[in-house]
Copies of this chain bind each other. A is one copy, B any other.
């Protein structure tokens, strides 16, 4: 069987399984998730052995320490996969819910029923824990899923696939509800993203270049997360006692996350007062500062270039720009930002209201650290990613983002007269 035949088989099986999953009861899906958790708990040794094969091969191949770290299935990571499965089992099932039922003047009654998307393809890097995270969210939302993890994790993912299979069997769900692509040929990715007859949506998880490549080649809709170039804007009417902790938290809580602040904007009338204090706070944390000319006049920092305003550093680096006005801040965010998450610090009612409306980002915040932009914090329970698209899903994507709605119409023999 060649790659194309293999992927077509997976696609057809996923499509068939999806029809079954769309109609199955919540309890059945939950018991599969709980059984998967149990299977993982009972397979710790096998999982770690399989993972060791990947780690050895990765080391021989010269993977960086950071990549090896993401690849490793430690006991803590296994615990967290088990915990994650149980949490997803505990989430409310969105499928089948009917909302907005109302009667129309014609006498028909109409509403919307939430339904699964069908078949989801997930493409991700060599992080085996994503296998379980993605599988659980897709299954709970009633979708069949095809998982294509990085080739360096192939032994780990194949071992996890066995645990998933055990869980599906225990709940008498089709074994093909969750399928792990068990060949490492890169052609498999191309196949996966060009089978609209079998796959309804692709969710790529990984670096920007991977996601751009997939989006460019896909013949299937893609829920994508490009970069998170987030801003905090300290307004002329900011309460600085709020601004300092927010700025520090947004930048330094974690450097490698997409909701970290990458550029700080400061109103010119506040700059003299707050930049020296911020410079000290960031220097204590070891953050490199790159400032515009006005910033350089006020504090000791490196020079920011035009390119810096576009960058997602994902590192202890912060760009700082002094802006002439509220409008200049909003214009900067809309022009250079990535429409991910942006926050204003202000006590001014009108500025807060205008910021909410004018900033074109998936999360717009007032007096809040950008670090809150996250599925758990937003109450989605878990997230498959943070969408920087506007269509379908925007911002953190949880179970709801993996569903669609169909119209349901009730009549009593109604016909349309004209």
List A residues at the B interface (Cβ < 8 Å).
Answer: 19, 22-23, 96, 102, 104, 106, 108, 110, 113, 115, 117-118, 200-201, 216, 219, 221, 239, 241-242, 245-246, 248-250, 253, 334, 343, 356-358, 360-369, 371-373, 377-379, 389-392, 394-396, 404-416
Given contacts A108-B372, A377-B106, A390-B200, contact A367 B412 (CB under 8 A): yes
CB distance from A291 to the nearest CB of B (A): 23
CB <8 Å contact, A219 and B216? yes
CB distance from A213 to the nearest CB of B (A): 13
CB <8 Å contact, B412 and A242? yes
- A110 vs B398: C-alpha distance when bound (angstroms): 15
- A363 vs B250: C-alpha distance when bound (angstroms): 45
CB <8 Å contact, A253 and B416? yes
**A interface majority secondary structure:** mixed
CB <8 Å contact, B360 and A22? yes
Residues in B with CB closer than 8 Å to A242 are 412-413
Residues in B with CB closer than 8 Å to A408 are 356, 363-365
CB distance from A93 to the nearest CB of B (A): 13
CB distance from A104 to the nearest CB of B (A): 6
- A67 vs B36: C-alpha distance when bound (angstroms): 59
> Of the candidates B117, B249, B334, B356, which one forms a contact with A390 in the assembled complex, judged by CB atoms under 8 Å apart?
B117
Given contacts A358-B23, A367-B410, A404-B391, contact A377 B415 (CB under 8 A): no
> Of the candidates B102, B221, B362, which one forms a contact with A407 in the assembled complex, judged by CB atoms under 8 Å apart?
B362
> Of the candidates B334, B367, B377, B404, which one forms a contact with A394 in the assembled complex, judged by CB atoms under 8 Å apart?
B404
Residues in B with CB closer than 8 Å to A249 are 415-416
